[in-house]
Amino acid sequence: MAMVRTLERPVAAPTDDETPGHAPRRRPREARFGPWSVPMLGSALFALVAVNYALWWNPVVHHVDAWWVPGDFWIDYFGTSALVHGHWSAMYAMHTGLDVPPGILVVLAPAVALGQLLHLSIGMPYTAVSTPTTWLLLEPFAVSSGCVALFATDALARRLTVPVHRRTILMGAEVFALWDLLVNQWHPEDALAVALALWGLLAAFDGRWRRSSWLLGVAIAFHPLVVLALAAVVAIAPRRSSLGLVIRAAIPPVVVLAGPLLANPGDTVRAVLTQPGYPLVDHPTPWTSLAPHLSGGAVAAGPVRLVAVALAVVMSWVVCRRTQRLAVVVWTVALCFATRSVFESVMVAYYIWPTLAVALVVAARAHWTRFASACVLSSFVTAFALSGWRGEWAWWSIVIGSIGAVLVAAWPRATGAAPGSPAAETPSSTDTLVVADS
């Protein structure tokens, strides 16, 4: 027997071509170039600017013969090198800095192997080379991961019936928010994880629970923050499907962690569960003093992050289990991602990106004033987070307050359509999910 659950989705008003008695008009630009024209434009812009920045910023602006290569890039490089050569016990050794499941290392393995086969150079601080050719081979992976994230956010916007002109503005805000994550810091695993989580959320909206669970599982294999989004998907799933969804989502991260766990269980568990943070290097928060202290001035960020996971589970169950509106479910996912920043014991600027990426999509459906406010606030907090302002309260309070303001601006109203919004907040039609209990 099948369980029927209804999730409402707003449907855009018919065009003149679909309305009897009206003469056909020219097809909109998106119809002529396809539904992917907006993310293709955003991806091209992001790739062009990112590559030129990496190659020319230091020589042109600082007059230094050096490429911009983020320090965290070498964490993934040497971890992937250990994976390629079968030195699994070294992947999570004390000096590597890797603290997430090695999904990104699996993706980078062919390129790293090719680079070592061609004897491409590595750079500072490990050698005196300021223009490492290995970077030229691997930087496209960071750019590609950003493009995947842009396509995922645009697909979610199209599902929420955001019109093309707003999606174009949304794409510009998303590109700006991605900058620190991928260009300044090099964390393609975050971008791929969130992108796969959004594809998994879309699959859940279609009632494809198996596909959704596998996509979320692969996303967790890149970064465990997707557990926060998994809570929302489990909340909207039929109860008899929830256990299978969680089990399938756990398989990919277990598979990619199996080798390091067998080879070096101590360091692997320490890195993945305790997740060391360094308040003397990054931004301390009010939670820093409550986190377990480790050697070398580090603190264990993992235990405090469990508070975010528990809160995300409760919020998802309370909100998503009772709503029939897709926009509210997506907004709840953004709120769950925000709990990571709120309860983080050591903050890094790019931690705020998942919240902004998802919240901006929901904000694109709101009144122009709220949408513009969300874009401005997102850009402000992205730029401000890069500042060197320290202190447990000052920097953290402004960042969290700005994230909260973006979420408030993005909140989908429950009554009618605001003037200037692309679609009614109360949907006019529904999607009915028919899901087998087995």
431 pLDDT band, cuts 50/70/90, is: very low
As a whole number, mean pLDDT of residues 335-356 equals: 93
Count Cα atoms within 13 angstroms, Cβ side, for 142: 27
| Pairwise pLDDT comparison (269 vs 194), residue with the higher score | 194
Average pLDDT in the chain: 84
pLDDT score recorded for residue 241: 84
Write out pLDDT tens, residues 351-401. Answer: 999 999 999 999 999 999 999 999 999 999 999 998 877 778 889 999 999
Q: Is the pLDDT of residue 336 over 70?
A: yes
pLDDT score, position 201 = 95
> What's the whole-number mean pLDDT along residues 283-296?
86
- Closest to 366 (Cα-Cα) out of 231, 220, 169, 216: 169
What is the pLDDT, as a whole number, of residue 417? 46
How many residues in total does the chain contain?
438
Q: How far apart are CA 203 and CA 233, in angstroms?
A: 10
Q: What are the residues whose beta carbons fall under 8 Å from the beta carbon of 412, sequence distance 6 or more?
A: 325, 327, 328, 331, 362, 365, 366, 425
CB count, 10 Å around CB of 392?
A: 15
User: Both tokens of residue 7?
Assistant: 């999730």
Q: Give the tens place of pLDDT for each residue, 213-262.
A: 999 999 999 999 999 999 999 999 988 888 999 999 999 999 999 999 99
β-pairing verdict for 283-284 and 276-277: unpaired
Q: Which two tokens stand for residue 206?
A: 């279609």
pLDDT tens digits, 98-123: 888 999 999 999 999 999 999 999 88
Residue 409, pLDDT above cutoff 90: yes
**Which residue(s) pair with 433 in the sheet?**
5
CA 53 from centroid of its chain's CA atoms: 22
Q: How much is the average pLDDT of 410-432?
A: 53
Beta carbons within 10 angstroms of residue 22's beta carbon = 11
